[in-house]
Amino acid sequence: MFKPFWRILGLYVVLALASLPLVMGWVPPNVWYGFRFPGAENSPELWYRLNALGGRQFLAALVVCVLANFLIVWKGTPAMIRNLGWINAVLILLSFWTVTLQILEQLPP
């Protein structure tokens, strides 16, 4: 019953580790890795600022997702536990969406 739970927690650890280089400013402008927005690849200062913000916000969202998982496993119904993978897919997509909206607010006009 808890095997999917540990796999999902492992996924969150991997996502958190992937966010850390963005937060630390170690990822230069590129087309593969990081939050990419119009104009950011042409302005290294904007790139690093947006990616640091996105990395921090995504880490915070991952913490909320992990807490939701603990709550579901602890108090959730059997149906919720059976669908934990789908619930997490939605949580991760919502996390990316909210982070993207927060970054868009920081783009210069």
Span 95-104, pLDDT tens digits: 999 999 999 8
Cα–Cα dist 40/105, whole Å: 14
What is the structure's pLDDT at 89? 93
> With bands split at pLDDT 50, 70 and 90, how would you rate the model's confidence at 39?
confident
Q: Give CA–CA dist 12/90, Å, rounded.
A: 13
Element (H, E) at 26: none
Neighbour-count burial of 93, counting CB atoms closer than 10 A to its CB (0-12 exposed, 13-18 middle, 19+ buried): exposed
Number of structural domains in the chain: 1
Residue for token pair 């302005």? 43
Range of the domain at 59: 3-106
- This prediction has a pTM of 0.86
